[in-house]
Amino acid sequence: MHPQMSAPPTLPSESDDMTNRHIKSLERIYELTSGLMNVENVNALLTRICESVREIYGFDLVHISMLDDKSQVFSQHAMAGYSEADRKELDASPKAFAHDEIISDLREDCKLSRATYFVPVEKQNGKPEEFVLVRDPDAARKPRPSPDSWHELDLLYFALMTRSGNLIGYMQVDYPQSGRLPSLQSVREMELFANLAAVAIENHNMYRRVSDLFQENELKTTRIQKILDLLRSVLRVDDLDIVLQKVSDSMALTFGFRKTGVSIFTKGSNRVTVHALTGYTEEEEQAVRSSMILRSVVLSDFKEVFRVTKTGYFVPGEKQGSGSDFVFIETPDKARQARKSPDSWHELDLLYFGLYDRDGNILGYIQLDYPEDGKIPTKESMEMMEAYASIAGIAVENSSMFKEAEDAKTQVKMYLDLLTHDVGNLVNPVNAYLEVVMGTTELSPIQHRYLSSAQEAARSITHLVRNVRRSAQMLETSGGELVPTSLTKSIRQTAADSRSAYVSKKIDIDLVLPEHEVYVMADSFLDEVLYNLLTNAIKYDEHDEIIVDVELSTVDFEGRKHAKVVVADRGIGIPDEFKDKVFTRDFRKLVRPDRPILQKSRGAGMGLVLVKTLVERYGGKVWVENRVYDDSSRGSMFCFILPLP
């Protein structure tokens, strides 16, 4: 008979070693994030996660299973603590890991958090002999010895979810070495490792899907180039409206639609805000933007009967009535006519693609209208459109994430973890595209140019990741010791690094340095000051030949000797009224019509903030001047001074 107690146990709230273990778990998560970039060998990272959970939280057995979409069975992809005999027993019991079998355990009355489920023996209906890997069958038939003890048939799952809310696997822990139920704090910490595994699996699945997708013919090259261009903007975390406009423009051009648009749901409201439109006249655009578009009305079209892809919905005109409530109809007379043929586009047809965040919450949508060939797009084309929608969804989520992260210095580890996930989700497809195209396609000259552009984008990605990581490291090591550091050597090294970062550009960095070495009180982050100033000078100079002058000298300032560095460029310049804000993130929040320089911004807005933070950390000062005294449009001079030892 199945063991029963009067009531199932509850997990204790904390444990004695909570603080030390919490610190160790954060350190281990921080170490494991680097493995997210290796999307091909996901099993290695999942195994490290299992081993970490087993080591830190004292469970004998930990395994991670991934869902096979075709067989709908969860297969073990990573294990820690299992013997060879254990593995064979698991392999011999595939039915125990069927999708429906696992889902039956992930029920609301056993849910501890968003992704954690504790199924005590008291809530189970199965017989002990139906379980796999039961160490002590006799103990399995007995009641729980005490409320806080672990029972032989207890189950503790961590569901692994995609950003759109789909189950892709689970992590399970069993047999705590203490023989006791884990604390709620331990469960919450283990959930962080499970989230890391979910991102790794989703990255891996994305890599596989992209690899399959781009083993196509030369006709797909234009689409690849457009996606790479959008990814480059997203990875730099460009201005949200700029990225969404690129998405709208690219989809219109790539898929042959005369009108496209990207709209975002207004937080805390039923209103919809139109962020990007393509193909509309000025009068049409004004009419669309001034219309009252309601979230509830749009979502009423997102019905299962209209679903054509995972996030795409096609609503035929026959289901729209007269179309009198439409915001825009190009040719009203055609709206009253019947569809010419089953595959022809009707005036009242609607094609949407939802934009979702990692938790599956809908953020907005992309709408495409009026295909140039007058035909309903194919299933294959709509699946490709969905990829663009995913990029737009990531852009929206990234924009929100950066805004929130700016006020969260005390949570820098979590900030870096989340950002690394998102950057990893974007970098991996770029690498996959390049590998697939280069490995399977005989390249034409224009294709070679596209790939060269992608290689340059990868360097921009590296630059962004470098800034983010170094910023977080700098915050974590604030108050560290400053030592005499060669500024001369740093200038030479970063000049070489900056040239290497933009190999496709013709760059002349003219160094004017004293004959003797100049030392300042700094640390290992000194290179970041010069690297960011030099790469900014290169990025914002649109000349065929880029010239940057760097001069190092010594000056007196407030009764003390200082080293002074001047980085002069011939780029687009900074208007005088913005010079006092250029080293702050507020610079990117200014209204775009009032900040012409930022309309060409190509970065995340972090570089100069990092420069100012570091210079002030070293006891110095940084500012910007016009290269030509009375003309801000002819380039800038970024200057900083640092005290000598």
pLDDT, residue 33, reads 83
| Residue of 550, 532, 526 lying closest to 627 (CA atoms) | 550
How far, rounded to the nearest angstrom, does the alpha carbon of residue 583 sit from its chain's CA centroid?
25
Q: DSSP letters along 248-279, please?
A: HHHHHHHHTEEEEEEEEEPTTSSBEEEEEEES
Confidence of residue 554 (pLDDT cuts 50, 70, 90): very high
pLDDT attached to residue 134: 85
Q: DSSP letter string over 611-637?
A: HHHHHHHTT-EEEEEEEETTEEEEEEE
156 and 295, same domain (yes or no):
no
Look-up of token digits 């201005």: 239
The answer for 83, left when phi > 0, alpha when psi is -120 to 50, beta otherwise, is beta
Strands 59-68 and 545-557: unpaired
CATH of the domain at 291: 3.30.450.40
Spell out where 266-417 has E strands: 272-278, 312-315, 350-356, 362-371
Q: What is the pLDDT of residue 459?
A: 52
Same domain, 203 and 233: no
Long-range CB contact pairs, 209-218, < 8 A, 24+: 210/428, 210/429, 210/432, 210/433, 210/436, 211/432, 211/435, 211/436, 213/384, 213/387, 214/432, 214/433, 214/436, 214/437, 215/436, 215/440, 218/441, 218/444, 218/447
Write the pLDDT tens digit of every residue in 108-143: 888 988 889 999 988 887 777 778 888 888 888 888
CA angle 616, 621, 622 (to 5 degrees): 105
pLDDT for 517-534, tens place per residue? 999 999 888 998 999 899
Least confidently predicted of 118-132, 224-238, 292-306, 380-394: 224-238
Comparing 325-329, 393-397, 563-567, the range with the smallest average pLDDT is 325-329
Q: Which domain holds residue 356?
A: 216-403
Domain boundary among 189, 209, 229: 209
Q: Which residue type occupies 367?
A: Q
Reported confidence tier of residue 210, pLDDT bands at 50, 70, 90:
confident
Identify the pLDDT of residue 222: 65
Q: Is the pLDDT of residue 390 over 80?
A: yes
The SS3 of residue 563 is strand
pLDDT confidence tier of residue 42, bands split at 50, 70 and 90:
confident
* Same domain, yes or no: 48 and 190: yes
604: left (phi over 0), alpha (psi -120 to 50) or beta: alpha
Q: Rounded to 5 degrees, what are φ and ψ at 258?
A: -80, -25
- Shared domain for 396 and 489, answered yes or no, is no
- Judgement on whether residues 542 and 628 belong to the same structural domain of the protein: yes
Within this chain, do residues 287 and 348 fall inside the same structural domain, yes or no? yes
Transcribe 367-381 into DSSP letters.
EEEEETTSBPPPHHH
pLDDT value for 601: 45
For residue 219, is pLDDT > 60?
no
- Name the domain boundary from 370, 403, 436: 403
CA–chain centroid gap for 518, Å, is 41
pLDDT in tens, 410-450: 455 554 555 555 665 566 566 556 556 655 677 777 776 66
Question: Is residue 496 domain-shared with residue 576, that is, in the same domain?
Answer: yes
Total domains in the fold of the chain = 3
Q: How far is the C-alpha of 610 from the C-alpha of 516, rounded, in Å? A: 28
Tens-place pLDDT, residues 596-644: 444 444 454 567 888 998 999 899 999 999 999 888 888 999 999 999 9
Q: Within a domain: residue 51?
A: yes
- Greatest alpha-carbon span in the chain: 91
Does residue 205 share a domain with residue 222? no
- As a whole number of angstroms, the distance between CA 501 and CA 513 comes to 22
Task: State which of 209, 226, 242 marks the end of a domain.
Answer: 209
- Which helix (H) or strand (E) segment holds residue 247: the answer is helix 240-255
Instruction: Indicate if 563 and 630 belong to the same structural domain.
Output: yes
pLDDT category at 5 given cuts 50, 70, 90 is: very low
Whether the CB-CB separation of 314 and 376 falls below 8 Å is answered with yes
Is 205 domain-assigned?
yes
Q: Is residue 136 part of a domain?
A: yes
- Counting residues of the chain whose pLDDT is more than 70, the rounded percentage is 76
Helix count and strand count (H, E) for the chain: 17, 17
| Residue-averaged pLDDT of the chain | 81
In a domain, 264, yes or no: yes
Which tokens hold the place of 144? 């729980």
**CATH code, domain with 550:** 3.30.565.10
464 in a structural domain: no
Model pLDDT for residues 226-285, shown as the tens digit of each residue? 666 666 666 665 677 888 888 888 888 888 899 999 999 988 889 999 999 999 999 888
Say yes or no: 202 and 349 in one domain: no
User: What number is the average pLDDT over the span 63-77?
Assistant: 81
Residues 200 and 230 in one domain: no
Q: Which two tokens stand for residue 54?
A: 């087993």
Distance between terminal CA atoms of the chain?
80
Q: How far apart (Å, rounded) are the C-alpha atoms in residues 120 and 451? A: 54
pLDDT number for residue 127:
78
- Output the six-digit token pair for 393: 């969804």
* Nearest residue to 644 (alpha-carbon basis) of 582, 566, 578, 561: 561
Query: Is 485 domain-assigned?
Result: yes
Q: Within this chain, do residues 120 and 232 fall inside the same structural domain, yes or no?
A: no
Is residue 54 predicted with pLDDT exceeding 90? yes
